[in-house]
Amino acid sequence: MSDEAFVYEWRRQSTGHYYVGTHKGTLDDGYIASGKYFLREYKKNPADWARTILMTGSAQEAFDSETSILQERNAKDDPLSYNKHNNSFPYFVADDELKAKRAAALGTPEARAKLSASIKKLYENPEARAKLSVALKKLYENPEARAKLSAALKKLYENPEARAKMLAAIRSPEVRAKKSAAQKRRFENPEARAKLSAALRTPEAQAKMSAAQKRRLANPEARAKQLAALRTPEMRAKRAAAVGTSEARAKMSAAQKRRFANPDARAKLLAALRTPEAQAKRAATLKKRWEKRKKRSQSLEGFFA
């Protein structure tokens, strides 16, 4: 899909009311707008509206330009504007009164089902999905907005009922299958795979993942649960199948060689293997193996005696 996009303005000739938006596509593809308040007025008398193209460029450039225009005009507070926000983030976080109204409106299963259906329909639109992606990227570039969103999620996670509900939803077979399919699709794209791999290998990302794993393992209950999940017959079989092919072994060998070719990584790995704790753990493991072999040998000797 082309990255060609533009910023447009619709203006009502009789009153001066206007609506500013962006569109990822061509100038002559027949697109009107996505704002439901504007569209409601437009459909009453399309002939009274005239479109002006304010700029053309990439989707990101168009979004940035639209944001600048809306914020310069303060369109959300302009009585002549049909724009309900200025693209200032996070514009979807409303005040307490509006939050209460939304919570009441979404309190019924029917309302939630209707909202879910509308979101799914919206997400099937490539243009809407691209616009949402640009908006979310912009959001995460804003430290204040990111901190606000993080605080909201942490607050939600402190509620045991909400946390249990969220975890149950994330861990459902349907959601796992969907996430797995999406991840596989991403990994089929060499560019996306390289980008993700590079992002995960930065010192900051590795330090963050290491700290998160240490926090999880510091919790005895979480550690026991994680180890139990890894030791199931299904997981053991899966791991054995994954490393059972010559291709998989060659790939693992190449990865290990690459790690050892890095002096810092090699020094770090050797230092970790030479700690008293690591050596004691290996000694205990070897001892258990020798005891098992000894018992097996004694059993066989007794059987053939």
CA 257 from chain centre, in angstroms, equals 31
Whole-number pLDDT of residue 3: 73
Structure token pair of residue 280: 């004691």
172: in domain: no
281: in domain: yes
Q: What is the CA radius of gyration of the chain?
A: 29
20: in domain: no
Whole-number pLDDT of residue 92: 43
Q: Cα separations (Å) of 275 from 171, 190, 289? A: 37, 39, 21
The arithmetic mean of pLDDT across residues 196-209, rounded, is 86
298: in domain: no
SS3 state at 239: helix
Upper half-sphere CA count for residue 182 (Cβ side, 13 Å): 6
Nearest to 134 by CA among 224, 61, 219, 46: 61
pLDDT digits (tens, 9 = 90+) for 144-201: 777 777 877 788 778 888 788 888 888 888 888 888 888 888 888 888 888 888 888 8
Exposure of 282 by Cβ count < 10 A (0-12 exposed, 13-18 middle, 19+ buried)?
exposed
109: in domain: no
89: in domain: no
Q: Cα separations (Å) of 204 from 193, 200, 216? A: 19, 9, 18
55 sits in which H/E element: strand 49-58
Nearest to 90 by CA among 139, 152, 155: 139
Helix, strand, coil share (%) of the chain residues, nearest 5 = 70, 10, 20
Count of domains for the chain? 1
User: What whole-number distance in Å separates Cα of residue 295 and Cα of residue 278?
Assistant: 26
Its domain, for residue 281, covers: 232-289
208: in domain: no
240: in domain: yes
Position 61 confidence tier, pLDDT thresholds 50, 70, 90: confident
Structure token pair of residue 142: 């804003």
Going by the DSSP 8-state scheme, the letter that residue 81 receives in this structure is B
Whole-number pLDDT of residue 88: 65
Partnered with residue 55 across adjacent β-strands are: 7
pLDDT digits (tens, 9 = 90+) for 3-57: 788 999 999 999 999 999 999 888 999 999 988 889 999 999 999 999 999 999 9
Going by the DSSP 8-state scheme, the letter that residue 185 receives in this structure is H
Partnered with residue 58 across adjacent β-strands are: 4
Whole-number pLDDT of residue 201: 85
